Amino acid sequence: MKIIILAGGGGTRLWPWSRENEPKQILPILGRDSLLQQTYKRLRLVFSAGDILVVTAKSCAPSITKQLPELPKNNLLLEPVKRDSAGAIGLAAARFIARSPREVIVTVHSDHYVSDAKKYARLLKRAGQLAQKNPEQTILTGIKPSYPETGYGYIQLDKKFVQQSTAGVYRVKRFIEKPSVVKAQRLIAEGNCFWNPGLFAWRVDYLWSLYKTYLPNNFSALEKISQASGANLQAAIDRQFVKLNPISIDYAILEKTKKMLVIPSDLGWADIGHWRSVQEMSARDANGNVVNGESLLIESENNLMLSKDKKFVAALGVKDLVVVETNDAILIINKNRAQDVKKIVAHLRSKKDWKKYL
């Protein structure tokens, strides 16, 4: 069983701290360690360093090598360009299909918050074992929702999967992508809908067949990568990876295949996907404020105010603000619009003089 950490974010949702060449997963957003280091340490509770691989952008390789010094050099897979999760997972599959087609891979994300590290590691191990016993199934995990989140996808459970040693495993009825608040409230009330954290498991030969069926154009390029090895591998990735169509694994494969099982869990989990989630996962004062240095906050509540070099922060009479400062940029946004930071990044990309802030 191998664990694949997907660490290829583009530095958009936690701008201005996160940038194209320094995305959030390699930054210490929550605590002293980077999000990637926290993920790696959770995995090491159960898995050996040799069984963990990281898929990331070429530009992040020096930082990741420094942050994860015990990770074997060959376990770092470098993407020359971004091609979304189907590209990253396909690259991992190409790494194993020729030599270990019966290997099981479990994919995780580098930028998630988990409150119970041991339960998280056990859940991944169970998902991998289920994939080994059911080699023609995609294994998903589902997180019991604690509130009606509109930024996550949901998995609706179907009937129980009845087989020896599969207690608490269900078939998948359908996916619901980013519902409205009203719909999310209804899904939670139904009791059979769980957040989709993007933690998946497959046996490699079965996953390879899904790419061949549902992504034939991508499969052709990935097959050429799978035939390369040693010193020729990175050159093959550089030539072929750019040919992939950028698409998520959810849209490309999961929503098309019917052979899926899900393991529900009450794991304390969150996607650190915007500044509001950073606030919610951080220690707050009595008024709900999060500040990372010395501060004077008067009649102010539920704010996130972060300075890269921990400048003194003073605020009076403000509520629900996100203020994030770096040496060259300041972000000011209502906390409830935190998911829209990517709109700012899109505007920065549209103007030549502003690209220096990416």
The alpha carbons of the chain give a radius of gyration, in whole angstroms, of 21
pLDDT at 4: 98
Mean per-residue pLDDT, 150-165: 86
pLDDT at 165: 63
Domain with CATH 3.90.550.10 in the chain: 2-271
State the chain's mean pLDDT as an integer.
94
Distance in angstroms (rounded) separating the CA atoms of residues 60 and 231: 20
**355 residue type, one letter:** K
Q: What is the percent of the chain with per-residue pLDDT over 70, rounded to a whole number? A: 99
Q: What residues contact residue 97 under an 8 Å CB cut-off, 6+ apart?
A: 204, 205, 208, 226
The answer, yes or no, to whether residue 129 has pLDDT greater than 90, is: yes
Read off the pLDDT band of 18 (50, 70, 90). very high
Say which DSSP state 190 is in.
H
> Which residues are 172's β-sheet partners?
157
Read off the pLDDT band of 229 (50, 70, 90). confident
C-alpha torsion 13→17→19→25, nearest 10: -70
Decide which of 3.40.1130.10, 3.40.50.300, 3.90.550.10, 3.90.1300.10 is the CATH code for 2-271.
3.90.550.10
Q: Do the bridges between strand 313-316 and strand 295-298 make them parallel or antiparallel, or are there none, so unpaired?
A: parallel
Mean per-residue pLDDT, 139-146: 95
The answer, yes or no, to whether residue 166 has pLDDT greater than 70, is: no
Please report the beta strands in the chain, taking only residues with DSSP state E, as ranges in sequence order. Answer: 2-7, 52-57, 76-79, 104-109, 112-114, 138-143, 153-160, 170-177, 193-195, 200-203, 260-265, 269-271, 290-291, 295-298, 304-307, 313-316, 321-325, 330-334
- Contact call for residues 260 and 172 (beta carbons, < 8 A): yes
**73 residue type, one letter:** K
DSSP three-state, residue 232: helix
Confidence (pTM): 0.93
Q: Residues 43, 48, 51, 55: is their CA dihedral positive or negative?
A: positive
Q: For the segment 292-312, what is each residue's pLDDT rounded down to a tens digit?
A: 999 999 999 999 999 999 999
